[in-house]
Structure 1
């Protein structure tokens, strides 16, 4: 199975954060992972970028930003044209759902960690 390249948006260096756990788990499941967060660093061999980068072939964007913090990334995410965006608990954002639907991008309100654990990723 081809790796689904995933962008973790809102990545954290703190090991107790869900975004950090998600990076670790995605890597352990052999997914190609890129990450953007507030602080540069490395988690499980994945470099966390602090600037938006035009990554290619993003299959999934998994969000770990509250709705207010997501706004600055709307256009960026739509331009990446991922197959889907996952809204993890606490990131639910009806305004963004509408934008994604208009761009024909699937969205899921789910938990990346649970999807991985249950083989639904």
Structure 2
């Protein structure tokens, strides 16, 4: 199973980040929800600081490109194997930074990847 950091985590059940947390947990993946609001998702506190978490396989993005630049250093210091740009989060500048730091950028939907066995 893959340790997955959800960047843009939320307690709002109508948001895709919440659905991703639900599905990732359901498929047995360890989640690390990171967001700006306090709360819990599926038994995990939403992390509100930029303390780097080790041993992360995947970061799945749920924040738009205009808010991502403040997270660039955090993402790169976390050193995931891949960075999933979910629909609406596409950012070629961050994708290039990821490549330059040996992180695979993936333009896809985490929910679809899980449901089709591509995760």
Q: Which has the higher strand share?
A: 1
After the TM superposition, list the runs of 4 or more consecutive aligned residues in structure 1 that deviate by more than 4 angstroms: none
Given candidates 37, 40, 48, the residue that maps to 1:50 is 48
Equivalent position of 1:69 in the other structure: 67
Specify every segment of 5 or more residues in structure 2 that has no aligned partner in the other structure, as ranges: none
**Tell me, which stretches of 5 or more residues in structure 1 are unaligned?**
none
2:93 maps to 95
Please say if 1:24 is aligned against 2:22.
yes
Q: In angstroms, what is the RMSD of aligned CA positions?
A: 0.7
Provide TM-score, normalisation by structure 2: 0.97
Aligned partners of 1:56 and 1:32: how far apart in 2? 13
1:17-37 deviation line (CA, Å, top 9, x unaligned):
000000000000110100111
**Structure 2 counterpart SS, 1:35:** strand
- How far off is 1:45 after superposition? 1.1
TM superposition score normalised by structure 1: 0.95
Measured after TM superposition, the shift of residue 56 of structure 1 is 1.0
After superposition, what is the alpha-carbon deviation per residue over 1:53-102, rounded to whole angstroms, capped at 9, x for unaligned? 21110000000000111101111111111000000000000111111111
| Number of the residue aligned with 2:10 | 12
Q: How many residues are treated as equivalent by the alignment?
A: 119
Residue 110 of structure 1, CA deviation: 0.4
